[in-house]
Amino acid sequence: MTGYFIGIDGGATKTLARFGGGDAMPLEIRSGASSLSQDLPGAIANILDLCRELLTRRGAAPEQVSIACGVAGAGNPAAAAQLKGRLESLGFASVIVTSDAQTSLLGAGAGEPIVMVAIGTGSVAMRLNKDGGIRQFGGWGLAVGDEGSGAAIGKSAVRSLLWELDLHGDAKSDLCRHIMQQVGSQRASILPWLQRAGSREYAALAPVVFEHLPHCQLAQKIVRKTAVDLERLIRAASDDDELPITLLGGLADKMRPFLSDDLRARLVPPKGTSLDGACALAQRHMEYA
């Protein structure tokens, strides 16, 4: 049995790492992004650096430590295997690499059955069943998924701008005039923006939509449509079960009021974070190491 654990929560904007176990107080440090889908080499290097720093600061040998990483992009088996292999090369007693959605699920319910819906730049829902089974819904990315997300809101806003330009030759609504300032006013400037824009660029436009929400019918229409898509995701994950639902992510508070009454009645605050879930996963495997 190992004496220590490391939990890591790696996402598109930041990475959190916690060292625990033994008699000492837990040590937590943070760094930049570590998304395996956006920058695989950079993410691996960042996570390894965090691990080395924690080991050094705690004076622990890798073989004394079990580690669990919940990382964005770990749904890609090849990317997850690369990270797992590099961590194993450091000599850890046991290594688990999974998605940050799964560690968020485990943290949000503290291991109890729950439906977790993360809505930020992207979106994903996961359900922890009463029998311990885990199932994911959504999380397919901007091109075909990410319903109810910030990126989806931004994409709808840009699409609305393009329609106004096609129909009127100019932006007519206050919202589209604001969006036009971000993406360009002419085809020659808009097309290059569209070619380079990804989830983060579209999601960066979502705050503009919410700023116009009180007085702009177009903003209201976009948010209502987003709420419909989000509800579809939540109901699919619920599978007619009355499990509690928790919302995570930067848009959780903003989208909560637009959900139907029956869903809002099942909402509960999360009991923990993705980092808590990663630590719990690492601790669970300590006894087998």
4, 58 in Cβ contact below 8 A? Answer: yes
pTM, to two decimals: 0.82
Compute CA distances 195 → 71, 113, 186, 208, whole Å: 27, 42, 14, 21
Structure tokens at 213: 């929400």
**pLDDT higher than threshold 80 for residue 99:** yes
Give just the sign of the alpha carbon dihedral 62, 67, 73, 74.
positive
Of the pLDDT bands very low, low, confident and very high (cuts 50, 70, 90), residue 289 is low
Cα–Cα dist 238/116, whole Å: 10
Determine the residue type at 166. Answer: D
Q: Are 4-112+271-286 and 150-264 the same fold in CATH? A: yes
Q: Does domain 150-264 have CATH number 3.40.50.720?
A: no
**Homologous superfamily assigned to 4-112+271-286:** ATPase, nucleotide binding domain (3.30.420.40)
| pLDDT attached to residue 133 | 87
Domain boundaries, the chain: 4-112+271-286, 150-264
> How many CA atoms lie less than 13 Å away from 77 in the CB half-sphere?
0
Phi and psi (nearest 5°) for 199? -55, -45
287 confidence band (pLDDT: 50, 70, 90): low
Task: Give tens-digit pLDDT for 46-75.
Answer: 999 999 999 999 999 999 999 999 998 898
- CB contact at 8 A, 225 and 232: no
Cα→Cα distances 244→109, 127, 159, 238, Å? 9, 10, 35, 9
In this predicted model, what pLDDT tens digit does every residue of 178-229 receive, in sequence order?
999 999 888 989 999 999 988 889 999 999 999 998 889 999 999 999 999 9
